[in-house]
Homo-oligomer: A and B are copies of this chain.
Amino acid sequence: MEFSAKEIAQFLHGKVIGDENVRVSNLSKIEEGTPDSLTFLANPKYTPHIYTTCAGIVLVNKGFQPEGEIKATLIEVEDSYACLALLLNMVNQARPEKKGIEKNAHIAASAKLSESIYIGEFAYIDENVVLGEGCKIYPQAYIGENVKIGAGTIIYPGVKIYRDCVIGAHCIIHAGAVIGADGFGFAPHDGKYEKIAQIGNVLIEDDVEVGANTTIDRATMGSTVVHRGTKLDNLIQIAHNVEVGEHTVMAAQVGVAGSTKIGSHCMVGGQVGFAGHITVGDRSNFGAQSGIPNHVEAGSNLLGTPAIPAREFARTSVLMRKLPELNQTIRELQKEVAALKRQLSEETGKDNA
């Protein structure tokens, strides 16, 4: 598909500056622009690229004032990043959709399939599974007994969902994710570990995205819950009986230990670890690689292991690097104080002489 600057500006309610007949057929980053691509400028850090980009069209925010010559046609919009997101979405949706049931999918007789679904080859749909309208189950996915999946949800290739789990509507589960494996529950007994059966399930609400190879364990009893709108990146571990609140985002490789409750609207950096059986308040932020051993109040902004307020961490880190210097200063002070003591004792001796 190809569109002119004029057509795009109309669609985005923007204003063309330059040649409105320039035509583009794809999207690019500003530093990788080609004459047939549209790009955008949102982050001021990238402004220098606008004077050198080969892109045919650049979306800019209203009020952008060029400080040099620009080859590209500009389209002024309210929010260039939001407009780009809109265009990305359009391009994505223009791709042909997978539909229908491929011939070697395994579908149990008791499974209930809705309209307009896709089930790929070598997918395994077990007994009593319920698939909502417009679900897409890609090849080689495994949907265990009694699993329910809501409307419009996409299950990418090779996802494994163990029996009894419930996935909401409009979720996206990326390839290799494992939902509902046994929680890590063992009782020590005579120097061995005896398995505690894990009879609960996983409950994922609507509009959740789960990254590739992320694992969410089933509850011992009850449910491990991920509330609506939450987005989990790749290779995350969510242990049994954890609850993650609404609209929380977690970057890759985060680990949440058993029975912990994470609030809503939290932001969790990559490789963060949460201890088990703790409660984390809403709207908390955690810097990458933090370790959270205890309860966290709502609205906290923590960093480090064990995590402390992020500002404090910054100060402490600087001082840690100064430890050799501080150590030196202390040694010198010791010498000076000793010298002062000697001197004073001599003075006093003299006085008394």
Question: What residues of chain A have their CB less than 8 Å away from a CB belonging to chain B?
Answer: 27-29, 32, 81-82, 85, 88-89, 91-93, 102, 104, 106, 120-122, 124, 138-140, 142, 144, 156-158, 160, 162, 172, 174-176, 178, 181-182, 184, 186-187, 191-199, 207, 209, 211-213, 215, 217, 220-222, 229, 231, 233-235, 237, 239, 241, 247, 249, 251-253, 255, 257, 265, 270-271, 273, 275, 288-289, 291, 293, 304-306, 308, 312, 315-317, 319-324, 326-327, 329-330, 333-334, 336-337, 340-341, 343-344, 347-348, 350-351
Residues of B within 8 A of A156 (CB): 160, 162, 181
Min CB gap A53→B, angstroms: 13
Min CB gap A11→B, angstroms: 16
Min CB gap A106→B, angstroms: 4
Q: List 5 A-B contacts (CB under 8 A).
A: A121-B124, A184-B234, A184-B249, A270-B273, A319-B327
The answer to whether B289 touches A270 (Cβ under 8 A) is no
The answer to whether B181 touches A175 (Cβ under 8 A) is yes
Q: How far is the CA of A196 from the CA of B87 in the complex (A)?
A: 10
Residues of B within 8 A of A235 (CB): 213, 215, 235, 237, 255
The answer to whether B122 touches A184 (Cβ under 8 A) is no
Q: How far is the CA of A159 from the CA of B248 in the complex (A)?
A: 29
The answer to whether A350 touches B351 (Cβ under 8 A) is yes
Q: How far is the CA of A121 from the CA of B105 in the complex (A)?
A: 9
Closest to A304 in B: B305
Q: A174-B182, A233-B239, A326-B326 are in contact. List 14 more A-B contacts (CB 8 A).
A: A88-B220, A88-B221, A124-B139, A124-B140, A174-B181, A184-B252, A195-B209, A237-B270, A251-B255, A312-B321, A320-B320, A337-B340, A340-B344, A347-B351
The answer to whether A289 touches B273 (Cβ under 8 A) is yes
The answer to whether B122 touches A124 (Cβ under 8 A) is yes
Min CB gap A213→B, angstroms: 5
Residues of B within 8 A of A247 (CB): 191-193
The answer to whether A181 touches B88 (Cβ under 8 A) is no
The answer to whether B199 touches A184 (Cβ under 8 A) is no
Residues of B within 8 A of A234 (CB): 178, 181, 184, 215, 217, 237
Q: How far is the CA of A341 from the CA of B343 in the complex (A)?
A: 10
Q: How far is the CA of A340 from the CA of B172 in the complex (A)?
A: 70
Q: How far is the CA of A27 from the CA of B111 in the complex (A)?
A: 27
The answer to whether A139 touches B106 (Cβ under 8 A) is yes
Residues of B within 8 A of A198 (CB): 88, 92
The answer to whether B184 touches A211 (Cβ under 8 A) is yes
Min CB gap A269→B, angstroms: 8
Q: How far is the CA of A312 from the CA of B320 in the complex (A)?
A: 10
Residues of B within 8 A of A265 (CB): 191
Residues of B within 8 A of A348 (CB): 343, 347
The answer to whether A316 touches B320 (Cβ under 8 A) is yes
The answer to whether A178 touches B175 (Cβ under 8 A) is yes
